[in-house]
Structure 1
C-alpha cells in the first residue's frame, strides 16, 4: 500500500453519492433554517452605523481533508480575515464531501465543491444551489501513468491501454473519451479503488487521479510520472467552487460578500506564499493527518501556479469565472450526462459587487 492510501485516501468525489444524499436532504429542506448568517442592522450594531458588521458564526464544508488544498482558508482564519469581515467564528468542516446534502439540509452555510457535483445536484435532483466563485480555474483531474509503464502523454496514447477508473468517475472518463472522439471500446476500463497500487504494480496503464495529489505522492516515492490533464484535453470545468443556497443569496447577500472578501485575502496570501500555506496545513490545521511536508509543499505550489490563477483572474480577480469558462463547464457537464444551464449553475453577481466595492482586491499579485 502506498502512502497515498494511508495519508490521503480518495481524492475523487462521488457524484452518485452526492445525488443520493441530495435526494434525502431535499425532503428536509422545508424544515431547514438556511444560512446561519444574519444581515446586520443599525440596531444590531448597538451604536454608530459605522461599526463593523457582525455576522456571527459561519460553517464551511470542505471537500476534502485539511491539507494544502485549503491553504487560503487557513490564511483567512490565522490572519484574522474572517474576523475582520465580521464573523465570530468560521468552522471549517473536513470532508470528503461534495457539500450538496449539507447545504440543502441547512447544516452548512458554504460548501467548497466542484461543478460536476453541484451540476448533478441541480440538474438531476433540483437542488436550489448556485456557484458564486471558484478557487480552481482549472479542472484538476488527470490520467496518471508511469513513464516506464503506460506513458500516456496524449489522448491517442490511451487507445488500447488499460485505464483504472473509480466507479464515481466513470461518467467523467466517458466524457473525456467523447470529447476526444473516442469511446469505451477504444480502451480497457479497469475498475479500481483510490489507491494507485494497481498502477505501480503494472495492473493498469493509466489511473484517474488529481494533479495535486496522487502524482506528487508517487513522484515523492521515486516514480517518474506522466499526466494527461482533463482540462487540457477537452474537459475543462471549475473546481473548489464556493457554493451556497438560493435562499442564502436572497437573504444573506452581504454576509456572503463579506465571506468572499475574507477568502480573496486568504487566497491572495496562498498564491503569494505557497510554502507558508503548506506549513499551515502540515503543522497546524492538518497536524493530526501525517501529511508529507515535501508533497504538501509541491501541492501548494502546483495549485498556486497552475490551478488558482489564470489570465481571467489576473484581469478580474481571484475566483472569477469568465463566460467562456462557464460555457466550457456546461459543455463538460453535458458530456458527463448532466443537463444544466449556466444561469442555473452560476451566480457571479456577488463577486462582481465585491470587486466593485473593493477594487484593490483585484490585484492579488501586488
Structure 2
C-alpha cells in the first residue's frame, strides 16, 4: 500500500528550602506560565525522595524538534510540572544519533533519554550498553520511504538510487524485501537532511520520517509517494524512553514522577500545540520553524494515538511487543539474539502511574 501526498497548506523555585514542599494540589495547569508551588503535586516525604535524586539530565532524540518524547518533557519543564513533583530537570538536545544517547545514559552522564524506538534499544543493548526501556509512545514505525510519483511498485527501485541518512533503516529494508525487491540491486547513497534531493531527481527514493520530510515537501507543493513499513507487516515503535538502570534502582520515585509529569504535559500539548512549540522555540533560540514543528507534533501525536492498543494506557512499554521487534531484528540479522527482556524492559512502571485508566495527579 502507499499514500500519495500533494501540496497541502499544510528555577528559582528549585532553590526553595525543603520545608517549602507543599501538599497535593488538584487541577491541570492552564498555560505556559508555571502554576502551583514547589512540591504541590507530591507529599513532603516524596518531595524529599525526589530531591535526593539530584539533577536529572534528559537528552532529547533530536535537538528541540516537536516530536513525541521531546516536546512533552520541554513542556513539562515550562509548565512547572517537574517543579510540582520536586524534580530538578535539565533538558539537553540530542544529535539524532541513537547510539550516542544510549552511551550517555549507560555511562550515567544522563539519567534518561529519548531514543527512536524499541529496536534501537535492543541494538544498543546487543552492542553492550546497559540501559533499560521504561516508556514508549508509538506502536508503529516512524520511518517512511518516499519516492517520485512515477514509482508505482517498489521493485521499480532496482537499478535506481536510494538516499538515506547514513544507513538504510531496518524497517525500510524489511519492507523492500517483503515487496520482493532485490535490495542489492539498489544503489544506496548517504544524503543530508534536505529532502528536495528527491524532487530534484538526484535520488529516486529517500528514507525519512513520516512527521518530517513529507511535511516539508508538501508545504513546498511537491508531490511524492510514501511507502510505509507497517503496510507490509513490519513491526516497529517510536519515541521510547531509556534510563540508567543504576539511577532507576536508587531513585525509582524520581523516574516515576518524571514520566508522570511528561505524560501530563503530553496531554496538555495535544490541546495547546502552538504554546508548547513556542516553549521549544525559545530553547532553540534561532532558526526554529515553529509552523513546521507544530505540524511535526500533530502528525506524531496522531501516529501515537491511532496506534495505541485498545485498553492500554499511553506510555506503557509492552514487553511482548518488544519481543516481536527483537525477533524481527534477529531475522534481519541486526542482533544475534533477543536479550533477556526482564533486564531490559520495565513494563510495570508506566501502568503504576495510572488508576482506572487515568493518570494520577497529584501523587497520593
Please report the TM-score for the alignment, with normalisation by the length of structure 2: 0.75
Deviations 1:144-196 (A, max 9, x none): 1233xx445x6456455432233333655433333444331454434433333
When the two structures are aligned, how many residues end up with a matched partner? 313
**CA distance in structure 2 between the partners assigned to 1:228 and 1:186 by the alignment:** 19
Which residue does 1:121 correspond to in 2?
Answer: 124
* Alpha-carbon distance between aligned partners in 1 of 2:257 and 2:187, rounded to the nearest angstrom: 48
Task: Tell whether the 8 Å contact from 1:104 to 1:128 is kept in structure 2 after alignment.
Answer: yes
- Mapping 1:237-252, distance limit 5 Å: 237-252=236-251
Paired residues of 1:165 and 1:173 also in contact (CA < 8 A): no
> Which residue in 1 is equivalent to 2:194?
195
Q: Paired residue for 2:224? A: 225
**Match of residue 184 from structure 1:** 183
- Kindly provide the CA deviation profile for residues 287-326 of structure 1, in whole angstroms up to 9, marking residues without a partner as x: 32x22233222111111112355342x6222112335532
Q: In the superposition, relative to structure 1, how do residues 182 and 57 fare at CA in structure 2: closer, same or farther (>3 Å)?
A: same
Structure 1 residues 256 and 176: CA distance shift in structure 2, 3 A: same
Deviation of residue 65 (structure 1)?
1.1
SS of aligned partner of 1:226: strand
What are the equivalent positions in structure 2 for 1:30-41 lying under 5 Å apart? none
Q: What is residue 291 of structure 1 aligned with on the other side?
A: 288
Distance, in Å, in 2 between the alignment partners of 1:297 and 1:100 is 27
Distance in 1 between residues matched to 2:349 and 2:293, nearest whole Å:
32
Correspondence 1:322 to 2:312: no
Alignment map for 1:39-118 (pairs within 5 Å): 52-53=47-48, 54-55=50-51, 56-69=54-67, 70-87=70-87, 89-96=88-95, 97-98=97-98, 99-114=101-116, 115-118=118-121
**Separation in 1 of the partners of 2:165 and 2:137?**
25
What is the CA-CA distance between 1:113 and the residue it aligns to? 0.6
Runs (4+) of structure 1 moved beyond 6 Å? 42-45
For the residue of structure 2 that corresponds to 1:338, the secondary structure is coil
Q: Contact conserved, 1:140 with 1:231, CA < 8 A, in 2?
A: no
- Find the counterpart in structure 2 of residue 169 from structure 1: 168
Q: Secondary structure at the match of 1:240?
A: strand
User: CA contact under 8 A between 1:139 and 1:239: conserved in structure 2?
Assistant: yes
Identify the range of structure 1 (301-310 vs 73-82) with the bigger mean alpha-carbon deviation: 301-310
Structure 2: runs of 5 or more not aligned:
1-17, 24-42
Cα deviation for residue 102 of structure 1 reads 0.5
**8 Å CA contact retained: 1:277, 1:300:** no
Q: What is the RMSD computed on CA atoms of the aligned residues? A: 3.1
2:231 partner SS: coil
Match of 1:21 in 2: none
Question: Per the alignment, do residues 213 and 110 of structure 1 end up closer, same or farther by CA in structure 2, a change over 3 Å counting?
Answer: same
SS across alignment from 1:269: helix
Unaligned runs of 5+ in 1: 1-41
- Pairwise CA distance, 1:257: 0.7
- In structure 1, the partner of 2:37 is none
Give secondary structure in 1 for the equivalent of 2:221.
Answer: coil
For the Cα contact (< 8 Å) 2:135–2:316, is it kept in 1? yes
Q: Distance in 1 between matches of 2:106 and 2:147?
A: 38
TM-score (norm 1): 0.75
Alignment partner, residue 20 of structure 1: none
Q: How has the CA–CA distance of structure 1 residues 91 and 179 changed in structure 2, closer, same or farther, with 3 Å as cutoff?
A: farther
